[in-house]
Amino acid sequence: MPYGAEQFTPRQLLDAGRYAEAEGKPALAHQFYRHLADIYAETAEAAEGRSRLARLDAQGLAPQVWRTEGEPGAEPAPHPRRAGRAVGVGARRRSSYRTGRALAALLGAIGWAMMAAAAAWLAAGVAAEHGGVAALQDFRLSYLVAAELAAALLGGAVIVVCGQAARALFDQARDVRELLALERARAGGERP
């Protein structure tokens, strides 16, 4: 079974709109007719859907999605806890987990620097072995140094991944806090 939105035929959308109208739900009927007119514009059902949309609009039953300037309610309602209180001059939304995200970025930078240094040392060692450059003879590779450079490359990669995981953790925590604030506001500002 494919994932995604289930596809409805134009006839099913028209019937769903009629049923919603019969149930006294003009906003839902408006959505069905609008979808029918937008997606299946060339069908006969879409023409009937457009005529039903026009009838709903003429009766004033179409939902108003936005508010224009100057109408009552154009300004958002104040936060329930802040209603009646003046917002301070220095009040601003603080960035959540700013320190944690900075430490995660620092950890990632350390990992990248470690990998770059190990790769540069490895390249200089290979050039000293095979290139015969006299200035690079101090970078000659022994088996122990080669193993340490490989470990430094691997360790740098692990540190970079840990930094990215920490950043993802702090981003997710911030998003969860925002979702909780939205749900609290939707529930009337009450704390559980």
What residue spans define the domains of the chain? 10-59, 98-186
| Average pLDDT taken over every residue of the chain | 78
pTM equals: 0.46
Write the single-letter amino acid at 68: T
pLDDT at 108: 95
pLDDT digits (tens, 9 = 90+) for 36-64: 888 888 888 888 889 888 888 888 765 55
> How many CB atoms are closer than 10 A to CB 17?
27
User: How close are the terminal C-alpha atoms of the chain, in Å?
Assistant: 40
Contact between residue 67 and residue 90 where contact means Cβ atoms under 8 Å apart = no
Q: Residue 122 and residue 145: Cα distance in Å, rounded?
A: 9
**What length is written for the chain?**
192
Grouping H, G, I as helix, E, B as strand and the rest as coil, residue 22 is helix
Q: Using the 8-state DSSP alphabet, how is residue 60 labeled?
A: T
Q: Phi, psi (5° rounding) for residue 105?
A: -65, -40
Mean pLDDT across the stretch 105-123? 92
Going by pLDDT thresholds of 50, 70 and 90, the confidence category of residue 160 is: very high
